Amino acid sequence: MTAFVLFSSFFLFMLLSVPIAIALGLSGLVTALYSSNISITFLAQSLITSTDNFTLMAVPFFILAGEIMGKGGISTRLFEFANVFIGRFTGGFAMAAIATSMFFAAISGSGPATVAAIGGIMIPAMVAEGYDRKFATSVIVSAGSLGIIIPPSIPLVLYGVSGNQSIGDLFIGGILPGILIGLALMVWAYIYSKKKGYKGSGEKFTFKRLFKTLNKAKWSLLVPVIVLGGIYGGVFTPTEAAVVAVVYAAIVALFLNKEVKLIEFPKIIKDAALSSVAILIIIGTATSFGTILTMEQIPQAIANGFLALSDNKYMIILLISILLLIVGCFMDTAAAVIIFTPILLPIALQIGMDPIHFGVLMIVNLSIGFITPPFGVNLFVGSGISGLEMHVLSRAVVPFIVVLLICLAVVTTMPPLTLALISLFSG
């Protein structure tokens, strides 16, 4: 009965459009008032202790680094660099926009931030080049989902903390799946552009153009090298890497690119703080929610239910994926990771899945939720930039969802795609 009170109150608050962080906290409070086994004091303590974690400090610092680099005018530099290689082909502008999103994802660690930074420039530019507004917006919002797959990914940090897994291994594990998804989106952009007759720029590749654009973008391209190289080289921890990323981003923005003034930093810090606080509140309330689940032995019941349905490994993975796809449509990614990792990771381990592979698989699943209504955050950001109504954009993005589902199937059935680089670096 306690589980019923917890879930029914949570869904009731969600139906009333209560923000998810508050809905999680209130449902925990209602359950504590109902049950004599759960103390309100215990819930309050869990809000504090869940965020009192050294590794979690990486989250606000990565957000701040992304804010600084996002305001530093790097989007145009990254696009010009990508455009040198693929701009001349059919649909080159769209493919270069996807490549730019991949680069920016390796800086921001956030899906909506990637859409906002790249979309604000690229959607109007693509429309000016003759691309349909619906297609142009769909390209950007879909590519924005890479923000939580390609490292440094904030949800991967949360999974690592919740599942007690190596953040460094998770970051490395997300590289190839992120590249695969980016390339698959480019393939569809090429096919669609070929059908619609969207031509390339016609500019030939030259080393002069390459070195010119590389020189402009070099400081931005070094961010993932410094972060991942430092973590896997044993130079610093993921949290220390996040701090290094902030310092490096500030130096680049202020003194190298010179596109951010010192007087703008208070607003940048304020914006990053607001984003960080929102995530940390979700982490705290989601942890309280998850603690009640554990006390009521709900994870064990769910695990037993999954294992009772089938003893086939891939059937269980399929069921987990369906669950996560549904969850991604209605729940914030941070909350979903915190709540469902303790529930689903034991099931994955029981059927012989590698925990790093499962973590990346989980994030790829949830990333699709960024472009699926009703909670698709990337859709809201893209709609705000392009002026398209949500129902129009939701239909336009369907082919890209199909592409992402195909990539999900590949990541699921090919563990070496996630684990090969980890073995290479470890070896």
Per-residue pLDDT at 366: 92
Percent over 70 (pLDDT), the chain:
99
Write down the pLDDT at residue 191.
Answer: 93
Structure tokens at 285: 């309330």
Rg, Å, the chain Cα set: 21
Cα 358 from chain centroid (whole Å): 15
For residue 427, what pLDDT is reported? 59
Average pLDDT of 45-54? 77
pLDDT of 357-387, one tens digit each?
Answer: 999 999 999 999 888 877 778 888 888 888 8
Q: What is the pLDDT of residues 129-182, one digit of tens each?
A: 888 899 999 999 999 888 889 888 889 999 998 888 999 899 999 999 999 999
pLDDT for the residue 85: 85
- Kindly report the average pLDDT of the chain as a whole number: 85
The Cα angle at residue 356 between residues 284 and 360, in degrees rounded to 5: 70
Q: How far apart are CA 57 and CA 59, in angstroms?
A: 5
> Which token pair is 76?
């145009």
Highest averaged pLDDT of the listed ranges 99-108, 187-196, 293-302, 327-336:
187-196
Residues 47-54, mean pLDDT to the nearest whole number: 77
Token readout for 278 is 């929102």
Helices 265-295 & 2-15, crossing angle to 10 degrees?
150
Higher pLDDT, 48 or 148: 148
Q: Please report the DSSP string for 182-200 in residue order.
A: HHHHHHHHHHHHHHHT---
Residue type (1 letter), 369: G
Q: Which two tokens stand for residue 270?
A: 């304020």
In the predicted structure, residue 405 carries a pLDDT above the cut 80: yes
Q: For the segment 295-340, what is each residue's pLDDT rounded down to a tens digit?
A: 777 777 777 777 777 778 888 899 899 889 888 887 788 888 988 8
Q: At what angle do helices 74-86 and 92-108 cross, to 10 degrees?
A: 140
Q: Does an H or E element contain 70, and which?
A: helix 58-71
Written as six digits, the tokens of 159 are 């999974």
pLDDT: is 407 or 121 the higher one? 407
